[in-house]
Structure 1
Amino acid sequence: MLQGPVFSQRDLEAIATDLGNASRKLEGGGWLRWNPHRLALGMGDYDINVLTAALRTKGYGIEWFDRRKGAAEIPLDRALGLILNKAPERIWQRRHWLALRRLNGAYWNLDSALEAPTYFVDREQVSAFLDAELACGGHVFVVLSAVAE
């Protein structure tokens, strides 16, 4: 999304740990060591709370998109890009994070599972792609270039 290695695993792990500690304090679970913001074995797979906190440190904001509306209502004109939490295609797979980024007026699919980034010809193609993902249980988050105060 940010076009470079902006965050290390150590950075994201620190954010997940801070969020997990805050969750335990709120719930009064001093002995509970499970962290709901990352994979149980500490191998990444961070949740949207970690991604939101990380992006905020760089001056970006995230808005959750209500998938009941349909992708045509995503405010692409205000967005730096989109983060998609894709539902697994097979029962043994986990959810997958990917980013769509607007560069020079075009949106690019920056999915790490692709051999190379692919671009969408127009807004309708972006909407069709997102509607298909939303229909399968995906979640879309709109990344804004400045945090609203």
Structure 2
Amino acid sequence: MERVPVVDTYLDIDYDNLRTRGVTDKIVIHHTGNAVDDDLSAAEIDASHKGQGWTCIGYHYVIRKDGTVEQGRPHWTVGAHAYRHNSYTIGIHVCGNFEIGEPTDAQIESAAMLLANICTDYGLPIDRDHIVGHRELMSTACPGEYLYEMLDTIVGKANFYAAQ
């Protein structure tokens, strides 16, 4: 199976304030949801989250508009992306406001490959029970209507990548 390249962002993370995630059984897809259809880097999101008093970026991965996948919070740690669901999930942030814009083809392909990699690494089925939009866990518009509508397609593509 092909591995999606993940860019190490060398974020300044205080590992002493992070906990190891004991179970991983879901992957949660997010979007930025800002007023504009932006393309924030993991470093920019990290700075924003630290500005809110968090230890570091809450997401484990960030997928930029050009399809680049950036490392966020270490994949083995408890995230800070889906209230009451962080202890067993991995958070993937897809850059943009998908209430007003659409994800790029590059983002869709990178998301699918990343999901194939994560599900294979953690022994998760690649299906919609294990890959969810943030809105499926709590009351929010996230990951935006246009990305949410594409989750079945992304999961299908993830199955294709996993079979390669």
- Asked whether the two chains share a fold, i.e. TM above 0.5, the reply is no
Highest Rg: 1 or 2? Answer: 1
Q: Quick check: which one's strand share is greater?
A: 1
Could you say which structure has the greater relative contact order, defined with CA pairs below 8 angstroms and 6 or more residues apart?
2
